[in-house]
């Protein structure tokens, strides 16, 4: 630079004479300037730097900041043949990718690529850079590959790790490869394996876990720990557990035993109920229950109750409260008459047994009265006979005494006295005989009375037993009556609610009380029951619902892979169907975007996430002019190396399809831009990012005059620092406003001022 300055100072400030001295000095200066410039621009631009050599790749094992094992690739090379070496770019391509990705730079001769996956193959390329911003030729840069085997002792990360909710609660499940050193599995809510803190959910040797997540949403981590205390990389699962839905109002039934509260059945995944009851004094209590019915023992006043479902994570929304007044007295009119045919078999048997026993008691009483009557009648007859004999003898004695009074001295009188003595003896004998007979009768009567007393005692015991049976039967009848009354009240309540509905709009449910239950039949005003069944065809593993009868009003969830390409009609995807930034790389399968799937103008800038468009996601010739909205493509939408020749239909790229500065160098694969892909006048100055167009990006003869709008190529659009690098043939370089110019030919340089006066001429003329 100093030599150039000294030569510049030797040029006189004014020209005198024929100007030869000035021309000689100017020529020397320009020659020195050219030589110095050539030295400086040597090595500028792509392909102008020597390649490194001796590329080596080595697998290394390390741990990340959380203590998890990782696999690294150590990249080493030699740069001794690179002039003015500044640094090296490290490019890597995974076996399934179509392009290299820049992973880092190093000013040394080694570089570590961290955290690569076991079982994958990686290709690594090193591109040298010098201090003049030149780079080695990318296509010819040295490349090597390595297959990552991983540490033998470190277990591979678990796979198919997911969470479901069943009737028992949360269920974590996973798969893994047993390398023979597995000790147990550790389930956590963070990536720090081995810590026994609040984020540790479970440690188990099972292939599943019933641990409750601490929140309804989050990311869970599953590690495998080996017998040496080393942990695998974690498998992760992001979950979102919906809270239980709001239940229907509880139903309160006022009974003499308390208040029966009936709730909705438990939904799948819930483990119980939480019940809030407020009594007539305003006292509130919370109860937990696993049954859908709950009895609250309150016998007077009013009551209010509400409930909510409980799952392993927490609880859902409260139901609306239901209230009522407790019934304390049951009116006699509320007890309906109970007929014999309403009793069950056991009650009927007890009633029959009691009736038979009562009939037997009545028969026994009749037999007893017959015996007493018969014994009394026999005794009365014998007494009457004896009385008749005594009366007869008394009459005879009276006759004899009368005769003696007439003639007491006659022999006849003595004879009569003797006869009287005989008759008196006979009477005494008869009386004695009658006494013996009467004693026998009395003994028989006493015996019969004793037997009757024993029979009466037995009857008393039997009657007491029957009374106990009758009491138990009465209690059972009372219980059955209460149950029947409650059932009657329930049916009456249902009928009352039904009676509130206009019968012209809804067919009532016919309620028929039968001995074995209640049959419920519901009739539809438009469809018969059979027609409704015909709408739903139940097969093993499949439920098909006729589309014209399906009305979905709530949130609907579709399992993964349910909606595939074959389920989408051609042209069904339009701009209105796609949310802003909805299209991202992970949402697209390779080759998923084809011409038939996209409506004209369906792809706009707001529909595409940053970096979402990569080469693997676009089918060949899928991108046509009709598919791209004006200014839809900008720099943030295109991933590095995503645009290749095979992805663009002929003439698809027009000026209105490209946003200003959308085209950058890293977005275009080498040789992707060919002539037939660009519409006439599509390339304008505002479409090209500064320095984006380099030699490696253009196919041979890709850029023709009709492809470039007038004035589109400006200095800042060209990556090359010299005209030599561009390989251009230049005629006149000038200032259009002043007219000053420099004209270059094969071996002559001429400089004109603004007045079109030749001021400098160098070369051969």
* Residues 265-313 pLDDT 10s: 999 888 899 999 998 888 999 999 999 999 998 877 889 999 999 998 8
Q: What is the mean pLDDT of residues 79-99?
A: 93
DSSP 105-138: EESSSEEEEEEEPTT-EEEEEEEEEETTS-EE-S
pLDDT for residue 191 is more than 70: yes
Q: What is the mean pLDDT of residues 117-123?
A: 92
Residues in CB range of 248: below 8 A, 6 or more apart = 264, 319
| 710 token code pair | 């007038």
The last residue of a domain, from among 511, 541, 558: 558
Q: Is residue 453 part of a domain?
A: yes
Task: Quote helix, strand, coil % in the chain, to nearest 5.
Answer: 35, 30, 40
Q: Is residue 201 part of a domain?
A: yes
Q: Which of 630, 581, 629 lies closest to 609 in space, CA to CA? A: 581
CB 255 within 8 A of CB 242: no
In 3-state terms, what secondary structure has residue 49? strand
CB 466 within 8 A of CB 358: yes
Q: Rg for the chain (alpha carbons), in Å?
A: 59
CB 722 within 8 A of CB 45: yes
Q: Is residue 152 part of a domain?
A: no
The CA distance from 264 to 251, in Å, is 9
Mean pLDDT computed over every residue of the chain: 72
- DSSP single-letter state for residue 616: G
Burial (Cβ within 10 Å: 0-12, 13-18, ≥19) of residue 320 = exposed
Q: Which comes out higher in pLDDT, residue 218 or 503?
A: 218
- Pairing mode, if any, of strands 293-296 and 284-289? unpaired
* Number of neighbours of residue 30 by Cβ within 10 angstroms: 15
pLDDT computed for residue 210 by the predictor? 94
CB 314 within 8 A of CB 214: no
**E strands within 378-468?**
none
| 713 shares a domain with 611 | yes
Q: What is the mean pLDDT of residues 449-473?
A: 62
CB 667 within 8 A of CB 691: no
Residue pLDDT, tens place only, 314-332: 899 999 999 988 765 455 5
pLDDT for residue 263 is more than 70: yes
The CA distance from 89 to 126, in Å, is 6
196-214 exposure pattern, b = at least 16 Cβ within 10 A, e = fewer: eeebbbbbeeeeebebebe
| 412 shares a domain with 391 | yes
- DSSP single-letter state for residue 172: E
pLDDT computed for residue 601 by the predictor? 60
Distances 578 to 575, 588, 595 between C-alpha atoms, Å: 6, 13, 16
> Would you put residue 305 in left (φ > 0), alpha (ψ -120 to 50) or beta?
beta
pLDDT computed for residue 470 by the predictor? 58
pLDDT for residue 501 is more than 50: no
Residues in CB range of 635: below 8 A, 6 or more apart = 659, 661, 662, 663, 664, 667, 689
Look at the chain and count its residues. Answer: 765
Q: What is the mean pLDDT of residues 403-428?
A: 58
| 365 shares a domain with 461 | yes
Enclosing domain of residue 235:
159-240
Q: Is residue 25 part of a domain?
A: yes
* Number of neighbours of residue 711 by Cβ within 10 angstroms: 8
The CA distance from 61 to 630, in Å, is 50
CATH of the domain at 138: 2.60.40.10
| 526 shares a domain with 431 | yes
Split into its structural domains, the chain has a count of 7
| 355 shares a domain with 258 | no
CB 184 within 8 A of CB 203: yes
* Beta pairing partners, 58: 74
* Beta pairing partners, 545: 536
pLDDT band at 216 (very low <50, low <70, confident <90, very high): very high
The last residue of a domain, from among 203, 218, 240: 240
| 255 shares a domain with 139 | no
Give the rounded percent of residues in the chain with a pLDDT score beyond 90. 26
pLDDT computed for residue 308 by the predictor? 96
> What pTM did the predictor assign?
0.30
| 294 shares a domain with 398 | no
Q: Which of 743, 723, 720, 745 lies closest to 733 in space, CA to CA? A: 743
pLDDT computed for residue 453 by the predictor? 60
| 380 shares a domain with 313 | no
- Pairing mode, if any, of strands 110-116 and 510-514? unpaired
Q: Is residue 164 part of a domain?
A: yes
Give the rounded percent of residues in the chain with a pLDDT score beyond 70. 46
pLDDT computed for residue 146 by the predictor? 95
Query: Locate tokens 């304390």: which residue?
Result: 328
Q: Is residue 153 part of a domain?
A: no
* Number of neighbours of residue 235 by Cβ within 10 angstroms: 21
Q: Is residue 591 part of a domain?
A: yes
pLDDT computed for residue 721 by the predictor? 47
Q: What is the mean pLDDT of residues 368-373?
A: 73
Residue pLDDT, tens place only, 532-572: 444 444 444 445 554 444 555 556 655 555 555 555 666 66
The CA distance from 174 to 162, in Å, is 7
| 335 shares a domain with 323 | no
Q: What is the mean pLDDT of residues 170-191?
A: 93
Burial (Cβ within 10 Å: 0-12, 13-18, ≥19) of residue 765 = exposed
pLDDT computed for residue 419 by the predictor? 63
Phi, psi of 594 (to 5 degrees): -120, 165
| 191 shares a domain with 208 | yes
Query: Locate tokens 């601490």: which residue?
Result: 214
Query: Locate tokens 């859902």: which residue?
Result: 316
| 166 shares a domain with 233 | yes
The last residue of a domain, from among 558, 590, 609: 558
CB 188 within 8 A of CB 200: yes
Residue pLDDT, tens place only, 701-752: 656 666 666 665 655 555 444 444 444 555 677 666 777 888 877 778 888 8
| 533 token code pair | 């069944």
| 484 shares a domain with 394 | yes
The CA distance from 691 to 719, in Å, is 4
Residues in CB range of 162: below 8 A, 6 or more apart = 172, 173, 174, 237
Burial (Cβ within 10 Å: 0-12, 13-18, ≥19) of residue 503 = exposed
| 702 token code pair | 């890709």
Q: Is residue 350 part of a domain?
A: yes
């Amino acid at each position: 630079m100093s030599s150039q300055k000294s030569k510049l100072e030797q040029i006189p400030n004014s020209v005198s004479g024929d100007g030869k001295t000035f021309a000689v000095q100017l020529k020397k200066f320009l020659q020195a300037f050219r030589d110095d410039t050539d030295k400086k621009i040597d090595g500028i631009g792509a392909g102008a730097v020597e390649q490194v050599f001796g590329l080596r790749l080595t697998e290394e094992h390390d741990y990340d900041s959380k203590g998890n094992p990782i696999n690294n690739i150590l990249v080493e090379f030699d740069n001794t043949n690179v002039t003015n070496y500044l640094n090296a770019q490290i490019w890597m391509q995974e076996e399934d990718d179509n392009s290299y990705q820049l992973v880092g730079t190093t000013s040394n001769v080694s570089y570590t690529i961290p955290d690569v996956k076991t079982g994958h193959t990686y290709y690594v390329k090193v591109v040298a850079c010098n201090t003049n911003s030149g780079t080695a030729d990318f296509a010819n840069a040295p490349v090597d590959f390595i297959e990552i085997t991983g540490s033998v002792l470190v277990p591979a990360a678990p796979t198919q790790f997911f969470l479901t909710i069943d009737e028992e609660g949360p269920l974590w499940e996973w798969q893994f490869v047993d390398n023979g050193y597995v000790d147990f599995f550790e389930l956590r809510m963070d990536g720090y394996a081995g810590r026994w803190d609040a984020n540790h959910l479970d440690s188990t040797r099972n292939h599943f876990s019933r641990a409750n997540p601490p929140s309804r949403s989050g990311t869970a981590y599953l590690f495998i720990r080996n017998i040496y205390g080393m942990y695998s990389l974690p498998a992760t699962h992001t979950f979102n557990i919906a809270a239980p839905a709001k239940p229907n109002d509880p139903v309160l039934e006022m009974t003499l035993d308390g208040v029966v509260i009936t709730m909705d059945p438990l939904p799948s995944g819930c483990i119980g109920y939480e019940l809030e009851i407020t009594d007539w004094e305003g006292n509130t209590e919370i109860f937990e229950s696993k049954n859908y019915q709950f009895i609250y023992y309150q016998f007077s006043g009013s009551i209010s109750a509400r409930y909510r479902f409980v799952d392993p994570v927490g609880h859902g929304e409260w139901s609306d409260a239901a209230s009522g007044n407790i019934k304390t007295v049951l009116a006699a009119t509320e007890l309906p008459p109970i007929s014999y045919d309403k009793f069950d078999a056991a009650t009927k048997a007890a009633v029959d047994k009691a009736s038979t026993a009562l009939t037997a008691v009545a028969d026994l009483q009749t037999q007893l009265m017959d015996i007493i009557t018969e014994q009394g009648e026999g005794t009365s007859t014998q007494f009457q006979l004896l009385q008749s004999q005594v009366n007869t003898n008394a009459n005879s004695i009276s006759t004899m005494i009368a005769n003696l009074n007439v003639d007491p001295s006659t022999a006849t009188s003595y004879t009569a006295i003797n006869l009287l003595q005989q008759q008196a003896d006979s009477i005494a004998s008869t009386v004695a005989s009658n006494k013996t007979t009467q004693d026998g009768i009395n003994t028989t009567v006493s015996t019969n009375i004793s037997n009757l007393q024993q029979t009466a005692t037995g009857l008393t015991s039997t009657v007491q037993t029957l009374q106990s049976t009758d009491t138990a039967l009465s209690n059972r009848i009372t219980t059955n009556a209460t149950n029947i009354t409650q059932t009657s009240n329930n049916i009456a309540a249902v009928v009352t609610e039904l009676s509130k509905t206009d019968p012209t709009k809804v067919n009532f449910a016919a309620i028929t009380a039968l001995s074995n239950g209640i049959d419920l039949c519901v009739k539809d005003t438009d469809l018969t029951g059979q027609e409704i069944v015909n709408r739903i065809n139940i097969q093993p593993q499949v439920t098909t619902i006729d589309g014209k009868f399906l009305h979905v009003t709530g949130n609907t969830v579709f399992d993964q892979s349910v909606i595939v390409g074959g389920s989408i009609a051609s042209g069904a995807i339009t701009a209105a169907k796609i949310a802003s930034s909805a299209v991202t790389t992970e949402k697209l399968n390779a080759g998923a975007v084809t011409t038939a799937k996209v409506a004209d103008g369906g792809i706009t800038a707001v529909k595409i996430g940053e970096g979402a468009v990569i080469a693997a996601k676009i089918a060949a010739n899928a991108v046509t002019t009709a598919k791209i909205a004006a200014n839809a493509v900008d720099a943030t939408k295109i991933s590095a190396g995503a645009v290749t020749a095979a992805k663009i239909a002929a003439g698809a790229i027009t000026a209105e399809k490209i946003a200003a500065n959308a085209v950058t160098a890293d977005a275009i694969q080498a040789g992707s831009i060919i002539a037939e892909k660009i519409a006439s006048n599509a390339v304008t100055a505002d479409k090209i990012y500064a320095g984006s167009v380099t030699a490696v990006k253009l196919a041979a003869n890709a850029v023709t005059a009709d492809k470039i709008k007038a004035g589109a190529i400006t200095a800042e659009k060209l990556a090359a620092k010299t005209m030599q690098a561009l390989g251009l043939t230049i005629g006149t370089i000038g200032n259009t406003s002043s007219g000053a110019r420099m004209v270059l030919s094969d071996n002559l340089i001429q400089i004109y001022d603004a007045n079109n006066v030749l001021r400098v001429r160098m070369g051969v003329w």
